[in-house]
Amino acid sequence: MARSSYLFTSESVSEGHPDKVCDRISDTIVDLFLSKDPVARVACETLTTTNQIVLAGEIRCAAEIDNDEIEAAARAAVKDIGYEQDGFHWKESNFTNFLHEQSADIAQGVDEGTGSYTEEGAGDQGIMFGFATDETPELMPAPILYSHQILKEMARLRKSGERPEFEPDAKSQVTLRYENGKPVGVTSVVVSTQHRDGVKLDDIRELVRPIVKRVLPEGWFPPEDEFYVNPTGKFVIGGPDGDAGLTGRKIIVDTYGGAAPHGGGAFSGKDPTKVDRSAAYVSRYLAKNVVAAGLARKCTIQLSYAIGVAKPLSVYVDTHGTGNVDEEKLEKTLRQLVDLSPRGIRTHLQLNKPIYARTAAYGHFGRTPDADGGFSWEKTDLVDELKKLA
């Protein structure tokens, strides 16, 4: 029997967190290649540490992109985040590029007409999950949404110059109390932020306080002894200088904050032929449309794939006892509404565009669709068709 009253916690990390710096660089490289060739193949991993930026992975592109252009893109990403510190500087850090051509063995299973199947297959085997819940207008779990919004607002104030005391590296954590399965209040908030040397801890606490109050619903600010700001004290050395970063180490931050299953595959650094990314996006798209159509208050969708095979091996829908439509019928309908082959997903969501650097921080889901196609998986354009099922 599902619990109706409980506490649930999610965390987020800022764009200046070492792992998120790597996600941003990797996705910037994806965008660079897709801007030159919409069907480019990219699998870019990034490592950062004290004044070091290292790229590795596999690429294939019809256009010629030299190392200087790749390096310039990576440095521009770090500059935009805001790193101009002695231990990690966008201009002064050493840059090493180990990207190389994609394996022909992998390509033959994925390219149309070259593998065991004539249709373009999935870039890998795996399982992907999508989730939506009606507990927020964005149809996202509230704890991860608020955690993202706190850090996003802090970054905005830092970059605008209104809060120069903040530095790029930061983390947040929000714990909510649920009653009858709905969030009713916040029990604790944790914010740890890198700051300029010489700023007092009490001052940082009071700079963070109004940001948290603006993000949370009115009256939801936690008790004073459950409002933690830099609980370890001084936080001047941060970012890749304080802790090495790697692409793909914040997958729960990227999705639903632990409120839903995760397939295990990271998103950043991968072009949309990789179902780790594109199938996770379409799973969210389908789940969000189910909830937006009023067919359920909560919905989890799982897709599974085999490398080189176009069709999904399974489509699973779980409405957690909140649905008003038979789940098996819903599974069949969703497959009819959207072609869930890798090519079909990319075509339906228009994913072969340079739209990925913006996804690297503050979550891939719960965002507003952009006019240029960014966050297309957040659209609710299937609602009218799905309402016919009700």
DSSP state string for 152-185:
HHHHHHHHHTS-TTEEEEEEEEEEEEEETTEEEE
Other CB atoms closer than 10 Å to residue 373's CB: what's the count?
14
Contact 310, 119 (CB under 8 A): yes
Q: Is 250 a catalytic residue?
A: yes
Residue-wise pLDDT tens digits, 110-129: 665 444 444 688 878 899 99
Distance CA 97, CA 122 (A): 27
Q: Is 58 a catalytic residue?
A: yes
Q: Is 311 a catalytic residue?
A: no
Q: Is 288 a catalytic residue?
A: no
Q: Is 271 a catalytic residue?
A: no
Q: What are phi and psi of 217, to 5 degrees?
A: -55, 155
User: Could you tell me which CATH class the domain 18-110 is placed in?
Assistant: alpha beta
Residue type, 89: H
Other CB atoms closer than 10 Å to residue 9's CB: what's the count?
16
Residue-wise pLDDT tens digits, 223-254: 999 999 999 999 999 999 999 999 999 999 99
Distance CA 268, CA 359 (A): 8
Distance of CA 242 to the CA centre of its chain: 23
Q: What is the DSSP letter of 223?
A: P
Contact 254, 356 (CB under 8 A): no
Of 148, 152, 163, 250, the active-site residue reads 250
Distance CA 33, CA 36 (A): 5
Of 23, 45, 124, 167, the active-site residue reads 45
Structure tokens given for 320: 């957690």
Give the strand pairing for 52-60 and 41-49.
Answer: antiparallel
Q: Is 182 a catalytic residue?
A: no
pLDDT of residue 32: 98
Of 249, 262, 343, 379, the active-site residue reads 249
Ordered by start, the domain boundaries in the chain are: 6-13+142-238, 18-110, 126-134+265-387
pTM: 0.95
Could you say which of 3.40.50.300, 3.30.300.10, 3.40.640.10, 3.20.20.140 is the CATH number of the domain covering 126-134+265-387?
3.30.300.10
Could you say which of 3.30.300.10, 3.90.730.10, 3.40.50.80, 1.10.569.10 is the CATH number of the domain covering 6-13+142-238?
3.30.300.10
Q: Is 353 a catalytic residue?
A: no
Structure tokens given for 109: 């299973």
Q: Please report, for residues 163, 165, 207, 229, 305, the alpha-carbon distance to residue 200 in angstroms, rounded to integers and kept in the order given.
A: 14, 10, 11, 12, 52
pLDDT of residue 264: 79
Other CB atoms closer than 10 Å to residue 279's CB: what's the count?
30
Query: Is residue 235 part of an annotated ligand binding site?
Result: yes
User: In tens digits, what is the pLDDT along the chain, a chain of 390 residues?
Assistant: 567 799 999 999 999 999 999 999 999 999 999 999 999 999 999 999 999 999 999 999 999 999 999 999 999 999 999 999 999 999 999 999 999 997 655 555 566 544 444 468 887 889 999 999 999 999 999 999 999 999 999 999 999 999 999 999 999 999 999 999 899 999 999 999 999 999 999 999 999 999 999 999 999 999 999 999 999 999 999 999 999 999 999 999 999 999 999 987 999 999 999 999 999 999 999 999 999 999 999 999 999 999 889 999 999 999 999 999 999 999 999 999 999 999 999 999 999 999 999 999 999 999 999 999 999 999 999 999 999 887
Query: Is residue 249 part of an annotated ligand binding site?
Result: yes
> Are the folds of 18-110 and 126-134+265-387 the same?
yes
Q: What are phi and psi of 161, to 5 degrees?
A: 90, -5
